[in-house]
């Protein structure tokens, strides 16, 4: 069965640079969620989209923005990167609110 | 405010034995869902099992079962016949607003429990 696809899987950036993370949800899934998992921590909700509209917002810094496109893929844009942004970023998707299926994550390292 | 607590930072179990991972939660919403995820060292989050707050029976998925005690607000994961491949971090998570098993809400996670299975 098709799963959530995230790219890139690994990303290394320097402080103050920008990064774009991409998420391709499971086909026909209508909702996308973004989570951030710092080292040794539990995942924290950032933002979600339902049918291409922002549906909820968590502890997402103002330096971050996200959107969902007409083909339902989503992108998380991160600017002015800080060392503390180093984390595993997950995208998850669901269909009609049933379950949340996670992608493999993007490991971002800021140096 | 919702809250998930996993009080066991680490657990050890012998291969082929059963193990219970604890999870307690706190919410004022009568409609909620409880999830368990497995995170191996490779990092991916693997969905294991789901229990809705109105479900009368405990959820089961193969070797995984959820011991749901609503009055005590606990949702413990039971893994039967542990295998070496079960060694991983396990997260309990809650989602508010679940109605009939569906919600567009976010997940709130506990701190996780690292399970180590010994041969």
Cis peptide before A8 (omega within 30 of 0): yes
Please report residues of B whose CB lies closer than 8 A to that of A58.
106
What's the CA gap between B34 and B12, in Å, rounded? Answer: 24
Alpha carbons within 13 angstroms on the beta-carbon side of residue B71 total 0
pLDDT digits (tens, 9 = 90+) for B15-50: 999 999 999 999 999 999 999 999 999 999 999 999
Confidence at residue A104, expressed as pLDDT on a 0 to 100 scale: 95
- Of the candidates B37, B101, B106, the beta carbon closest to that of A58 is on B106
B31 in A contact zone (CB under 8 Å): no
Taking 90 as the threshold, does the pLDDT of residue A82 lie above it?
yes
Confidence at residue B103, expressed as pLDDT on a 0 to 100 scale: 77
The closest alpha carbon to B5, from B99, B112, B104, B96, belongs to: B112
Q: Binning pLDDT at 50, 70 and 90, where does residue B2 land? A: low
Confidence at residue B1, expressed as pLDDT on a 0 to 100 scale: 56
Chain B residue with Cα closest to A31: B104
Which letter does DSSP use for residue B38 in this model?
E
Please report residues of B whose CB lies closer than 8 A to that of A48.
104, 106
Please report residues of A whose CB lies closer than 8 A to that of B102.
96-98
Task: Give the helix ranges, DSSP H, for chain A.
Answer: none
pLDDT digits (tens, 9 = 90+) for A40-61: 999 999 999 998 899 999 989 9
Taking 70 as the threshold, does the pLDDT of residue A19 lie above it?
yes
Residues 6+ apart with CB under 8 A from A48: A31, A32, A33, A34, A54, A55, A56, A57, B104, B106
Looking at every residue in chain A, the average pLDDT score rounds to: 94
Taking 80 as the threshold, does the pLDDT of residue B100 lie above it?
no
How confident is the model over A84-88, as a mean pLDDT?
97
């Amino acid at each position: 069965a098709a799963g959530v696809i995230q790219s890139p899987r690994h990303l290394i950036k320097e402080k103050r640079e920008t990064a774009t993370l991409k998420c391709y949800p499971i086909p026909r899934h209508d909702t996308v969620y973004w989570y951030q998992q710092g080292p040794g921590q539990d995942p924290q909700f950032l933002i979600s989209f339902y049918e291409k509209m922002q549906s909820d917002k968590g502890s997402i810094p103002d330096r971050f923005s996200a959107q969902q496109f007409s083909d339902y893929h989503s992108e998380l844009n991160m600017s002015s990167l800080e060392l503390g942004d180093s984390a595993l970023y997950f995208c998850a998707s669901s269909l009609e609110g049933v379950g949340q299926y996670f992608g493999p994550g993007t490991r971002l390292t800021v140096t | 405010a919702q809250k998930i607590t996993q009080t066991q930072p680490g657990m050890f179990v012998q291969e082929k034995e059963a193990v219970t991972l604890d999870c307690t939660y706190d919410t004022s919403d009568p409609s909620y869902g409880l999830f368990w995820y497995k995170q191996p060292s490779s990092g991916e989050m693997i969905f294991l099992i789901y229990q809705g707050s109105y479900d009368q029976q405990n959820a089961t998925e193969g070797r995984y079962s959820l011991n749901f005690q609503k009055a005590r607000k606990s949702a413990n994961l039971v893994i039967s016949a542990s295998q070496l491949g079960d060694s991983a971090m396990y997260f309990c998570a809650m989602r508010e607003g679940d109605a009939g098993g569906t919600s567009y809400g976010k997940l709130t996670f506990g701190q996780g429990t690292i399970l180590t299975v010994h041969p």
